[in-house]
Amino acid sequence: MNTFIKGGVCAAKGFTASGVHCGIRKNRTKRDLSLIFSEVPASAAAIYTTNLVKGAPLTVTKQNISDGRAQAMLCNSGNANTCNADGIEIATAMCECLAAQTGISANDVIVASTGVIGEPLPLEPIKAGIPELVGALSSDGSLLAAEGIMTTDTIVKEVAVEFEIDGKICRLGGIAKGSGMIHPNMATMLVFLTTDVAISSEMLSLALRRDVKDTFNMVSVDGDTSTNDMVSILANGLAGNTPIEKPLRDYHTFKKALNAVTVSLCRLIAGDGEGATRLLECKVNGANSIDDARTVAKSVICSSLVKSMIFGADANFGRVLCAIGYSGVEVDVNTIDVSFVSAKGRIDVCKDGHGIPFSEEIAKEILLEKEIEILVDLHQGDAVSTAWGCDLTYEYVKINGDYRT
């Protein structure tokens, strides 16, 4: 059983975190450099963007954790360090600066950057800020670290759970950034996860890869996949459980805890989409296969017309059917049911692929709530999937029209 607790990335034993303003961002009230640190070396795993254009930090991180080990996570905001001639050099130097200050190996650092693409990232403010960053490490520092990785985010995103493995109390927590350039197959998000569970890097990587398919790969805000997306996790083993080295019972307990945290972060990311006013969740039931269910759910979530419909609180279910129809999945359109659900209740709008009488007034009340569920039942099989997104608003265009300037 997973119990949600406070603490974010510092909930697990042996982890501290911090966040400071070092000068990458012009606004001195905004933190722009974050650190998560394990008191002992940890198993490490990460998943990266599928975009062929990748930020330099991802290349460095992939090399650093090729041995399945790391001890720190370092991230700056305000500059993506992408498409820069000296990008690899700067990302490597960031690791070296942290190593010099902490005494760990530069190869044991997961490094990340987020912000504007194509602008040189100056090393000087980062190098000058790292002593303060390390000195500020605290078991209460998760919130500060979460603030330091934000760009257009409007809310801090942190979650943690407590659970039991092998008779030991274990914890797993995470922080995330993500608001725009969010699209399935790793969206513009940075997610940092920590746990005190003892687990091999092989099992940790397996759990993360499998989880991402049904969580972070099922989030879409605007259809753009970024260059710097990464989900990374450290597991330092300080909970004292018998190490998980095979995909047996304890592995599955761990995987459920991981999923509880990642689903919560997905909802926070989708609900904080740039300019968004509503969190949108599409639940697909009755698909022939899990791949079909995922594809249909993502097609609905990614539809600009569906997203605009939600913004206008207009129960135009035809747009949902349209998105299902062009998803590429072979479905019998004459068996599809569609309903809308929120805190105001549920309204059925489509049965067997056809519209049914419903109250437009009640439908509007339901769709004006902050969190909206679109329920789709294909009645073709037993597979289910869920995707998350948000509405498409005027504010999204405003934010991205002058993002760089």
Per-residue pLDDT tens over the stretch 106-119: 999 999 999 888 99
Report the C-alpha gap between 303 and 324 in whole angstroms.
10
What is the architecture, at CATH level 2, of domain 279-401? Roll (3.10)
pLDDT grade for 51, boundaries at 50, 70 and 90: confident
Helices (H), 6-83: 56-64
What's the pLDDT at 225? 58
Q: What is the pLDDT of residues 286-310, one digit of tens each?
A: 999 999 999 999 999 999 999 999 9
What is the distance between the alpha carbons of residues 281 and 304, in angstroms, rounded to a whole number? 15
Map residue 232 onto helix, strand or coil. strand
CATH 3.10.20.340 residue ranges of the chain are 279-401
Q: What's the pLDDT score for residue 270?
A: 87
Contacts of 314 (CB under 8 A, 6+ apart): 364, 367
Cα Rg, the chain, nearest whole Å: 22
The per-residue pLDDT for range 208-226, each reduced to its tens digit, is 999 999 999 898 865 555 6
pLDDT of residue 222: 57
Type and span of the H or E element at 202: helix 201-214
Count, in order, helices (H) and strands (E) of the chain.
11, 15
> What is the model's pLDDT at position 226?
60
Band of pLDDT at residue 396, cut at 50, 70 and 90:
confident
What Cα–Cα distance (Å) separates residue 382 from each residue in 19, 210, 286, 333, 369? 46, 20, 5, 17, 30
Q: Is the pLDDT of residue 25 over 50?
A: yes
Q: What is the pLDDT of residue 359?
A: 98
Q: Which tokens belong to 210?
A: 């499998």
DSSP 33: E
Global confidence as pTM: 0.91
DSSP 288: S
Q: What is the mean pLDDT of the chain?
A: 93
Task: Give me the mean pLDDT over the 62-84 stretch.
Answer: 96
Lowest mean pLDDT across 136-150, 194-208, 389-403:
389-403
Give the type of residue at 281: E
302 and 220 Cβ atoms separated by less than 8 Å: yes
Name the least confident of 118-127, 161-170, 385-394: 385-394
Region 258-283 average pLDDT: 90
Residue 181 identity (one-letter amino acid): M
Q: Provide the pLDDT for residue 54.
A: 82
**Percentage of residues of the chain with pLDDT beyond 70:** 94
Catalytic site includes residue 242: no
pLDDT at 199 over 90: yes
Cβ-Cβ contacts under 8 Å for 357 (sequence gap 6 or more):
none
Residues of the chain within CATH 3.60.70.12 domain(s) are 3-271
Q: How many CB atoms lie within 10 A of CB 327?
A: 19
pLDDT digits (tens, 9 = 90+) for 327-369: 999 999 999 999 999 999 999 999 999 999 999 999 999 999 9
Q: What confidence tens digit (pLDDT) does each residue in 242-268 have?
A: 999 999 999 999 999 999 999 999 999
User: At residue 314, what are phi and psi to the nearest 5 degrees?
Assistant: -110, 115
Closest of 284, 366, 294 to residue 320, by C-alpha: 284
Q: pLDDT value at position 187?
A: 47
Mean pLDDT of 273-295: 92
Active-site position among 49, 61, 82, 188: 188
If we measure between CA atoms, which residue out of 376, 172, 389 comes closest to residue 266?
389
Read off the pLDDT of residues 180-195 as tens digits, 9 standing for 90 and up: 555 555 545 799 999 9
Question: ∠294-298-301 over CA atoms, to 5°?
Answer: 145
CATH code for the domain defined by 3-271:
3.60.70.12
